[in-house]
Amino acid sequence: MTTHTTTPSSSQAPSSAELGVSAIPTLAEFEEAALMLRDVVVQTPFDESEHLSGVLGAPVHLKLENLQRTGSFKIRGATYRLSRLTAEERARGVVAASAGNHAQGVALAAQKLGIAATIFMPLGVPVPKLLATRGYGAEVILEGATVETPLRLAAEFAERTGAVLIPPFDHRDVIIGQGTLGLELWDAIPDLDTVVVGIGGGGLIAGVAAAVKARAAAEGRTVRIIGVQAENSAAYPSSLAAGEPLTVATTPTIADGIAVARPGDLPFEVISALVDEVVTVSDDDIARALLILLERAKQVVEPAGAVGVAAILAGKVQASGPTAVILSGGNIDPLLLQRVVAHGLAASGRYMTLQIPLPDRPGQLARVSELLSIAGANVTEVLHTRHGQGMQISEVILQLSVETRGEEHRAHVISVLEEAGFQPRVVLD
């Protein structure tokens, strides 16, 4: 487990002046933003999860921001930022770059405020996110294999046309807008003890931490804020240890919505001061979390939105009282969802693919099927082939996809086959 721990907060959150941090918004600013957003943003519901409460040993309240307009919290920061533009800035229009949630948030916010919006997106953007962004009235320009190209093009477009560039996290107005979610946590959960938030660039957790700790300070209480990153793209642990934002090498992760190689400058200042701990989770952890959310909470959540749940399931969160976990978005491509569910089943010991070499004579397939039936495994797919590298002329390979009930049952299925003289090899688990 990778963690970063700050000095525990006193009963009163330190002021910006005491910290020397101008980036920390005030409670009054969050409350003003909440009033401005009330006709645009939905106050999304909460769901207390008995399953996760049992895992954590404390009440767990899921904040269902996956049910927010545009499918994520991003509409909060985008709308508040655009609302603060002058008439002259609005007339010039806005521009943004994004592979998904930020694009939709800016597009809808611009539509509601009557501002022309241009959004640059990479060529491989999931079709649902592309269609939604266009559906909110934005002009979408597809360019580049990764989001780096749209980011560069959006900045060039702003310089060339005068359009106002709307950053996804590194702006004070964006942080304040996202932080209105923290006010909702405080108002809805009595005796709030811990808040668990995913981190990409850091705008959401910076706003939530500042808002929640300001409310707690007003009542002489403390609340712990825990951030969660995908371990394949975790810039905050090393940056916090170094005391400054660092750019880290990233590898692909299913949580692409929080795959940010460098912390935002303003969020980093707030997080350094107010966030108590940062942990990381693996893609397997995230896949398990998505499966639990589907099965137990009946919630469709994108991988980046499920990292808080993943951290609880992986034993990386400790809490002694009511805990809020933000499900920050639900914009998952159905094709990715299909793959992630299969991966989550495998990671939970409930699905595996076996390859079994067999002598090429009648009755072998029937024998294996009988043994799997005795072991209580459900076969979902069968491939029987005489072709493959390393095979003997008198040998065939049987490949089976099998549903099991968990790690113990999976081990039992393999044991039954081995005791019968077969040599199963797990090729997907």
Catalytic residue among 233, 328, 348, 401: 328
CA distance 404 to 351: 6
- Over the range 226-249, which residues count as b (16 or more CB within 10 Å of their CB) and which as e? bbbbbbbbbbbbebbeeeebbebe
Tell me phi and psi for residue 233, to 5 degrees.
Answer: -150, 65
316 is catalytic: no
SS3 336: helix
Q: Which residues have a Cβ under 8 Å from the Cβ of 200 and sit 6 or more positions away?
A: 169, 229, 257, 258, 259, 260, 304
Q: Which residues have a Cβ under 8 Å from the Cβ of 191 and sit 6 or more positions away?
A: 321, 322
User: By the 8 A CB rule, do 359 and 392 touch?
Assistant: no
CA distance 270 to 79: 21
Supply the angle between the helices 265-274 and 203-218 in degrees, to the nearest 10. Answer: 40
Q: Is residue 381 classed exposed, middle or buried when 0-12, 13-18 and 19+ CB atoms within 10 A define those classes?
A: exposed
Q: How far is CA 243 from CA 1, 210, 235, 238, 264, in A?
A: 20, 19, 12, 9, 13
Q: What is the chain's Cα-based Rg?
A: 24
Token reading at 24: 């920390």
Written in H, E and C, the secondary structure of 17-37 is HHHCCCCCCCHHHHHHHHHHH
CA distance 66 to 295: 16
373 is catalytic: no
Tell me how many degrees the CA angle 313-319-322 measures, rounded to the nearest 5. 100
CA distance 292 to 286: 10
Catalytic residue among 63, 74, 129, 213: 74
SS3 48: strand
SS3 208: helix
Catalytically active residues are: 74, 328
